[in-house]
Amino acid sequence: MPLPSADELLDGAVVVSLPMRVRFRGITEREVLLLRGPAGWGEFGPFPEYGDDEAAHWLQSAIEAAWQGHPAPRRSRIAVNATVPAIGPERVPEVLTRFPGARTAKVKVAETGQDLAQDVARVRAVREHVPRIRIDANGGWSVDEAVRALTAFTADGPLEYAEQPCATVPELVEVRRRLPGVRIAADESIRRAEDPLRVVRAGGADVAVVKVSPLGGVRRLVALADELAGHGVEVVVSSALDSAVGIATGLAAAAALPDLPYACGLGTGGFFEADVAPALHMSDGALDVVAVEPEPERLDALRADPDRVEWWCERVRRCRTVLAGRGL
């Protein structure tokens, strides 16, 4: 498919700012740029700190969704996990109500300014309501800290897996060696790596957490999942704090995979006070695979300030230049 021009990409593009119910990844509003193409809508939402080389993958994903559409699905419903931010244990029941029927919960830990006792209390509170627990440290621990924390968590019961307990591949390998009974999942070590398979070849992961936008689109995600399966590594499709448009793309990716053994991290729409389309209805711990069409009145209400619109449009132009340089 020829790469659309910058003018074609920005014709009809909308930048929105979605207010959040709780602080997540240190932010209380999520900005994304939505592209409209002949096949539908795509979402371009790399976080502000990402450089253009990395952000270009997100633009490639948005172009695929809006200009090519999604591959044929293999399933119509996707099991999703609850996501529990780094909140106090007293708020856990409130958060879990946003994930009706979820049988798996991912609990954020290792938050800056918090300690292990707070993490343990949060995980214990979630265990009272959800049978399967996975934790996500976003690379926030050293090896010794990870071993200590994971030992504390598993004293209360098993973990489905521990996601990115440490930042580097050698650290993940060492944690996996020292705690053979705990499955280790890689997230940042895959989606922010020039070689996504490096952590797997090094023996640092049992599970791969994959996200459509950072990998450059649904088709690239499906191809990577096939490679990972060849190494005995299963995948979990997750979101990058996406709007309803991005969540629909994540669901399309999960629906296109041959195998999907784990609940996916695609239930994060409940963290927004308002979104560009009605919230996807979760029932019995699953979401339907559906197309999403943003509503004009919602787009108008959530439209970002003019200076932010120009910032995002200029970012699209730069990232398109990066893609053109890659021969895409």
What's the CA gap between 125 and 96, in Å, rounded? 11
DSSP state of 279: P
238, 211 contact by CB (below 8 A): yes
Binding positions for Mg(2+): 136, 163, 187
172 neighbors 204 (Cβ within 8 angstroms)? yes
Place of tokens 């780094």: 86
| Coil, helix or strand at residue 255 | helix
E-only strand ranges, 218-279: 234-238
Return binding residues.
136, 163, 187
Q: Is 84 left (phi over 0), alpha (psi -120 to 50) or beta?
A: beta
List, by residue number, the catalytic residues. Answer: 108, 211
Task: State which amino acid sits at residue 184.
Answer: I
Proportion of the chain in helix, strand, coil states, percent, rounded to 5: 40, 20, 40
Of the candidates 164, 139, 162, the one whose C-alpha atom is nearest the C-alpha of residue 151 is 162
Query: Phi, psi (5° rounding) for residue 279?
Result: -60, 135
Calculate the alpha carbon distances from 70 to 11, 122, 244 in Å: 21, 37, 15
What backbone phi and psi angles, to 5 degrees, belong to 78? -125, 120
Q: Tokens representing 100?
A: 């009706």
CB atoms within 10 A of CB 231: 12
Contacts of 69 (CB under 8 A, 6+ apart): 39, 40
Q: Which residues of 71-89 are buried (b: 16+ CB within 10 A; e: fewer)?
A: eeeeeeebbbbbbbbbbeb
State the Cα–Cα distance between residues 68 and 241, nearest whole angstrom: 23
